[in-house]
Amino acid sequence: MAPRFAAVDVIRTKRDRGELSGDQIDWVVDAYTRGEVAEEQMSALAMAILLNGMTRAETSRWTTAMIDSGSRLDFTDLPRPSVDKHSTGGVGDKVTLPLAPLVAACGAAVPQLSGRGLGHTGGTLDKLESIPGWRASLTLPEIRRQLSDVGAVVCAATGDLAPADRKLYALRDVTSTVEAVPLIASSIMSKKIAEGTSALVLDVKTGSGAFMKELGQSLELARAMVDLGTDAGVRTVAVVTDMSTPLGRTAGNALEVRESVEVLAGGGPADLVELTLVLAREMLAAVGLDAVDPADALADGRAMDAWRRMVAAQGGDPDAALPVARHTSEVLAEADGVLDVDALAVGVAAWRLGAGRSRRDEAVQAGAGVELHAVRGDVVRRGQRLMTLHTDTPERFEWAGQALEGGWSIGGPADRPPLVHARITA
């Protein structure tokens, strides 16, 4: 049977700034996934999309085609309304850990299918795997049972969700087309829509430690993803939040789990608590539970109870001691003044200490990372401890220290930007 389209014609249409038809998009995504469209042809199409963009209709159809390359989950029969959260990633962004049990404690079901870290942004699964016994891989029946019993699950995505995205993402990574907003938006949203939740809240980061470093880019991505969710019938809202300086006071797997538990216990850094509550209120409102105040669930221990049940349901011991790195090194203030700390520098330092990976198959150190004793805007004194670096391999200290060079300074006022820059709705 002859192919319905020729790849070269699809490439030419987008190269010449034309709009791809729905049939062209369906065909090229399916044919590429099956190996009928060559890698060099999809590379050319991805570059044409990067340079010439896509309309909302094109991006929506592209996302649907990626979803249709695999299976869709369905949680409509759960006894609770389902809502998910996705973050575009940052430094110290451990919000999923306190957020999922908090929202579950308030009456919603949170199926949080997460991933592992690559580069300077940490992965949620890497953080949770620092808890002794905890396992990331669950079957679909186990996911459904945990959502019914506990209300929250954080686990690895099943392999048959949007398989086209896995293949296309690997190609974009080696062809310098990762930055194409339509492809970023469809990559994220194809997986999230395929997860089958009725509502979705997006935390789109902006600043030096984020994937999108300029506010305008972050707003563009947030709008594109909200439009995609809306077109797919998923109630979607995005908040654009600051990532110019680390979130909270830790970057590293077990360090971030420890800080998350502090939040669930009613403490924790003010910015981390604030963002957790902002996102929780958005998630609850999206499924009609906005009469519930998540701050109450933090204060009265319900969120902590949900956390303990969530961890235990996946084989983890919520009472077990978390891993601690064997070696530490301190960074001291060199003068009196007001501290400024850059998110990217801290993230790269944590990665170099062993908290992150440079290849997908690389192991991470559970105890490695950076602990901040002062944050942007704090007044510090000469000799004061600013950071503690943690690692099992002390030869990494020099490499991590190089990442921090120029990444913090002491001088005049260093006002922290607002935590939430914008809210985007349909």
Three state DSSP letters for 212-244 = CCCHHHHHHHHHHHHHHHHHCCCEEEEEEEECC
Write phi, then psi, for 397 (nearest 5 degrees).
Answer: -60, -45
Is 201 strand, coil or helix? strand
Task: Please identify which residue in the block is written with the tokens 């319900």.
Answer: 302
Calpha distance 23→43 (Å, rounded): 20
Residue type at 364 in one-letter notation: V
Q: Is 187 a catalytic residue?
A: yes
Catalytic residue, candidates 82, 114, 130, 187: 187
CB 338 within 8 A of CB 414: yes
Q: What is the CA radius of gyration of the chain?
A: 22
CA 342 to chain centre: 19
Q: Are strands 327-332 and 369-372 parallel, antiparallel or unpaired?
A: unpaired
Q: List % helix, strand, coil for the chain (3-state, nearest 5).
A: 45, 15, 40
Query: Containing H/E element for 39?
Result: helix 39-52
Q: Which of 84, 165, 231, 342 is catalytic?
A: 165
**183 closest CA partner among 194, 200, 169, 201:** 169
**347 residue type, one letter:** G
| Separation CA 221–CA 180 (nearest Å) | 10
Decide if 176 is catalytic: no
CB neighbour class for 339 (10 Å; exposed up to 12, middle 13-18, buried from 19): buried
Q: Active site residue: 80, 191, 235, 309, which one? A: 191
| Residues found in the chain | 426
72-111: b (≥16 Cβ within 10 Å) or e: ebebeebebbbbbbbbbbbbbbbbbbbbbbbbbbbbbbbb
Q: Pick the catalytic residue: 14, 80, 86, 192?
A: 86
| Residue 208 falls in the annotated catalytic set | no
Name the active-site residue from 61, 85, 167, 172.
172
Catalytic residue annotation: 86, 165, 172, 187, 191
